[in-house]
Structure 1
């Protein structure tokens, strides 16, 4: 039986079971590319930039959903053609005792609001640790690099994000999984 409210919602919707797409609506298929049938029984992993991102975001969202039953963030996702884009994801578990067993999620393309900035793996690590409030010396210890090397990475990040100072960079990065 078709559900027009789900099917024609103006936001991308998916029904997930254990992080596998059971059904999606038209807007979800438009956002990620292809047809609704292309996503049926597809592991959500295929829409993440990497397995590491899938694991990291999954672990964080599972913990939050265990506490609240709900999760939201902004993250980089991958379209069917391989293009990366910024996406706002929101999910609600229908099985609070086992949050990933069954849930409804929405996905919105926010790439016009937040252009994608290409970062190297090391730049991403430095950005994440900077957002956590670590000093250049603390980041250097954690990554096994000198604090001067960390300052060089931060300088590149400032340039890439068009920020003048570290607090401005952190403000641009904060609240966004990298």
Structure 2
């Protein structure tokens, strides 16, 4: 099958039918990330030339709130691991990432500081994005000392009666952050 010049513009004569179908399938599935990755792949894989020079600076802001309790077992570990994995992926994509520990999740920093913990390496890979733990939540769940020992700041930017102050999660929403809770 010979592609028509109107199908893909001036470069159509360099396309084979299978390359056109492969490109269309890739585009449809969105398997390789943002759409500009398809252009890079199309230019290099299907055309046999050098990749396009398309640079996109990420404007995505992702706040990851870890609330699962490490005492809750494997399900909680799965939540933590998935939250840290999303953070790792977002950091590698150049996104702005904020990881915070809230509620019973303030117990995690003490656990993650232990080298034998299964998520220890992943935690340290995303450590630059960890902003801290809610001060009030750490006090309620008895995690203040372990949070401090892990070197994290205790966040108390919102006054709440009966607590030393808590992390203001609403700030992430009003500032346009995509907020994920694990």
Structure 2 length as normaliser, TM-score? 0.27
User: Which structure has the bigger radius of gyration?
Assistant: 2
The structure with the greater share of residues assigned to helix is 2
